[in-house]
Structure 1
Amino acid sequence: MADTPWNLDSKDFDHDAPELGVFLDQDNIPDGLPKEAVVVKISGEINLYSAQIMKERFFHLLDRGFIYLLVNMENVKYIDSSGLGVFMATHSRLVKSGKGGIAVFSPSSQVNKILELTKLKSLIRVGSTSKEAWKLLAP
């Protein structure tokens, strides 16, 4: 497969396992997305065991110079505190760098409920579509 618009090879990035899938999401790229932004799709359950995989993938993107992460969570069935911690660690790393941000879009009803209960919607931007999520992050 050819490189994505972000010059990432999905064969090297994507993680497909029964408990958690992390993929480059080429189907939800909003108009005007800059080269330092990436859209990622998560599927499955984010728990103590799978959260580390997600963190490795997110930090890999940050290490490659991506400063805007849009995360499609429509197929996430469950997220626990370790998964929320990955979002907070990613957010914190971006804040420390002084640029960029992370936003989720299309959260499942279960994920949306967790974000509301934990009050993390005040830190993690949440949109209903990738276009809306990008508007929340765009400089």
Structure 2
Amino acid sequence: ALGVERCELDRIFRESDFITVHVPLTAANKGIIGAGEIALMKPTVRLINVARGGVIDEEDLAAALVEGRVAAAAVDVFTDEPPAAGNPLLTAPNALLTPHLGASTAEAQERAALDVADQIVDVLSGRLARYAVNAPLLPPETMRVIG
């Protein structure tokens, strides 16, 4: 219904015009996008990381930007935060760097505050919070019974 197809990462890297990264940093995915993965990408790809620093190898991404193998990158997170003065992304062409500032606009903060307020109202009204990551998947009536 959503028009989404599950596929392997190498296919995503080969076929995508835009790649956005939205994963937690774990031992399993540290550096999951490096030179090998970047080599699979179209030279016109736009790579966006708003997940966690360390998921994308910053040196490999910077080299790809310098060499024109990646058209552009937007990075909101870095392996070391704040990024060190020698971080190669700081001088790479076509790199938009917003170290944890991507959601720091007045509009984003207002929207976040409204979402939090709406969720508080939901919970106080006996409904589940929409974005809770640790809430049980039981209806409020069942939760009241089992406490």
Give TM-score scaled by structure 1 length. 0.44
More strand per residue: 1
More helix per residue: 1
Give TM-score scaled by structure 2 length. 0.42
Tell me which structure has the larger Cα radius of gyration.
Answer: 2
The structure whose RCO (Cα within 8 Å, separation 6+) is larger is 1
